[in-house]
Chains A and B, each alone.
Chain A
């Protein structure tokens, strides 16, 4: 069974070949017809769902991300059967993908895993904003949802760390842990590519002042968490 056109990432139309080899040593090539193109490889079979393939895929994406102005990494295992299906998909989502490419241009991702011990101080949530006077029931509902989400993602227990990192951030996504346990949240931070050293230094300097909290930092990564998710 053929692996089809395996997609490593999406780039702008200014990117040129050659692009080197993929995870199966296949020659990479660009597929597209508009402002957003895909870096693809033709695989003889689908990639195996194992650690070696994950590492190989990540190595290719890292190399590509370092050599182009902007890249949206594709999730592992993404294949489309042929060029028409891929170019059609790219055309259908060109606007959203183009905006995302602009956002991640020149940036890398840092990831924080935030764990709380049993006695970790939670801190205080930011004060609740008053509801806007204008707007109908739907607008007020959406505004309330937005404010609730912002408060939920505030992570007041590690507020000093987030405040210290804020000047470096070009974007941020927070995922609250849903399973019971000490993992409280994962923070994905988008920063300028040359700011990774400053980011790591701030984390190392600030976290010891947060007793009861554990932070595991990794990066820099290609901006996996800042690729549009619901684009299918």
Chain B
């Protein structure tokens, strides 16, 4: 996208994975903490690492890839 394209610089996260990224950051990284010992049920997905992966994926989707076409 060119710099003159009015949509070139702005992306609003709207996809399912993007919204999960935002949920992970807001709900797991923000908010009032009453106790350091968070008791959670077991799940198949480690969301801490998923958060990092989603951050990287979000960045890749928003920016053009570098390198030869």
5 CB contacts below 8 A, A to B, read A50-B43, A58-B23, A77-B28, A111-B26, A214-B10
**Pair B40/A77 contact, Cβ less than 8 Å:** yes
**Pair A55/B23 contact, Cβ less than 8 Å:** yes
Residue of B nearest to A116 (CB): B63
B residues near A46, Cβ cutoff 8 Å: 39-41
Binding site for B on A (CB under 8 A): 1, 3-4, 7, 9-10, 45-51, 54-55, 57-58, 72-80, 86, 89, 97, 111, 113, 115, 117-118, 179, 181-183, 186, 188, 203-204, 207-208, 210-218, 221, 224-225, 227-232
B residues near A75, Cβ cutoff 8 Å: 27-33, 38
A77 with B39: in contact, given A228-B32, A232-B33 (CB under 8 Å)? yes
Residue of B nearest to A215 (CB): B10
**Pair B47/A224 contact, Cβ less than 8 Å:** no
Q: Which listed residue (B11, B33, B45, B52) contacts A214, Cβ 8 A?
A: B11
Scan B2-27; emit 1 where CB is below 8 A from any A CB, else 0: 01011111111100001110111111
**Pair A48/B41 contact, Cβ less than 8 Å:** yes
Residue of A nearest to B9 (CB): A207
Q: How far is the CB of B22 from chain A (nearest CB, A)?
A: 5
**Pair B30/A214 contact, Cβ less than 8 Å:** no
A residues near B26, Cβ cutoff 8 Å: 58, 111, 221, 224-225
Q: What is the number of residues of chain B that contact chain A, defined by CB distance less than 8 Å?
A: 46
A210 with B9: in contact, given A54-B23, A78-B38, A221-B26 (CB under 8 Å)? yes
CB proximity to A under 8 Å, residues B40-69: 40-45, 47, 52, 55-56, 58-59, 62-64, 66
Q: How far is the CB of A34 from chain B (nearest CB, A)?
A: 15
**Pair B23/A51 contact, Cβ less than 8 Å:** yes
* Bound form: Cα–Cα A43–B59 in Å: 37
A residues near B9, Cβ cutoff 8 Å: 207-208, 210-211, 213-215
- Known interface pairs A73-B31, A75-B28; 10 further A-B residue pairs with C-beta atoms within 8 A, sorted by A's residue number: A46-B39, A50-B47, A51-B45, A76-B27, A76-B28, A208-B5, A211-B3, A211-B9, A230-B33, A232-B34
